[in-house]
């Protein structure tokens, strides 16, 4: 489909500079622009491409100043990044407008299905599951007994949701994610044997949560593993049993949260962060990539880095010393030679 600059500007509450009848039918990065493409500029590092791009329309901030004329039509908005994200969201939702049922599928007789649901081929929905309106269940999804799924949620191909788990509304769970597998609970019996502890709890995922591909969220031993509203989890994340992640927290790929941790609201974890078990992380905490956290973080809005994790400023100072260790060793060796020389 083609859209005019004037229509896009109306949707974004922006203003057009250039040809209001300019049309686009595709998206492109500003540095890879081509005729008929829509791009955006938000990062000053890419400003040079504004004057070179072949894109037909570029979304920019109202405050952006032009150093020289541009060839494209501009749409000025308050926040170019958010505006472009809104357009991508609209486009993505239009691609997901599916309904009906492909075959073969299995839906138990006791399942409750809402309106306008899509069920892809080879999916399985077990007994007493409750599926809300406008849910999209793509191919090869497994939904266990007594699972509840809220309205407008999307389950991409290969998602597995074990029995008794609860998924909220407006969620998105990507391919290969497993919700509700057993937590890692084993009691040592002797030097060479472990007894499995039954995991009889569930997972509760609240509204507006996105879960990345191949992420695993374990069911609680008792009670619930809870992912609060607005949480965003990247691909390849492990969330262990009885963990609670607070509202609007975001966690990047390959992070691991050990059992019974309580993570606060509005936290940000970079990639490969690891938390030891039974820790509490205060609201607003930011943890840098590859950090290892082995103690609770009680101060809200802390910035933590390193392994073991420490205050960001302290960690930077430590890194400065570590980088100087080879020179410091040379000085120590030289001092030892001098001391030995005097002793002899």
Catalytic residue annotation: 241
CB atoms near residue 209 (< 10 Å): 23
CB 294 within 8 A of CB 276: yes
Report residue 179 as tokens. Answer: 């919700």
Neighbours of 92 (CB within 10 A): 11
CB atoms within 10 A of CB 228: 21
Q: How far apart are CA 340 and CA 197, in angstroms?
A: 62
Nearest CA among 231, 232, 201 for reference residue 218: 201
């Amino acid at each position: 489909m083609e859209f005019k600059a004037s229509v896009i500007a109306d949707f974004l509450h922006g203003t057009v500079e250039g040809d209001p009848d300019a049309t686009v039918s595709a998206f492109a990065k500003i540095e890879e622009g081509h005729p008929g493409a829509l791009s955006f500029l938000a990062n000053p590092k890419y400003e040079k491409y504004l004057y070179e791009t072949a894109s037909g329309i570029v979304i920019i901030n109202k405050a952006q100043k032009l150093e020289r004329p541009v060839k494209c039509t501009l749409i000025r908005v308050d926040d170019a990044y958010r505006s472009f994200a809104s357009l991508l969201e609209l486009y993505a939702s239009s691609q997901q407008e599916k309904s009906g049922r492909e075959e073969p599928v299995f839906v138990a007789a006791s399942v409750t299905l809402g309106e306008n649901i899509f069920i892809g081929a080879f999916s399985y929905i077990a007994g007493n599951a409750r599926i809300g309106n406008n849910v999209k269940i793509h191919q090869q999804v497994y939904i266990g007994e007594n699972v509840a799924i809220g309205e407008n949620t999307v389950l991409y191909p290969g998602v597995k949701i074990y029995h008794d788990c609860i998924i909220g509304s407006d969620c998105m769970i990507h391919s290969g994610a497993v919700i509700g597998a057993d937590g890692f609970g084993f009691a040592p019996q002797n030097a060479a044997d472990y007894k499995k502890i039954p995991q009889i709890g569930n997972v509760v995922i609240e509204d507006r949560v996105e879960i990345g591909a191949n992420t695993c969220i374990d069911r609680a031993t008792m009670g619930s593993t809870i992912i609060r509203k607005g949480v965003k989890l990247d691909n390849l994340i492990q969330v262990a049993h009885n963990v609670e992640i607070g509202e609007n927290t975001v966690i990047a790929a390959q992070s691991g949260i050990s059992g019974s941790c309580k993570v606060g609201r509005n936290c940000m974890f970079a990639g490969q962060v690891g938390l030891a078990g039974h820790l509490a992380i205060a609201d607003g905490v930011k943890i840098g990539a590859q950090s290892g956290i082995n103690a609770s973080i009680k101060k809200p809005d802390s910035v933590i880095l390193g392994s073991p994790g420490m205050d960001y400023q302290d960690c930077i100072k430590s890194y400065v010393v570590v980088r100087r260790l080879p020179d410091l060793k040379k000085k120590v060796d030289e001092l030892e030679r001098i001391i030995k020389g005097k002793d002899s």
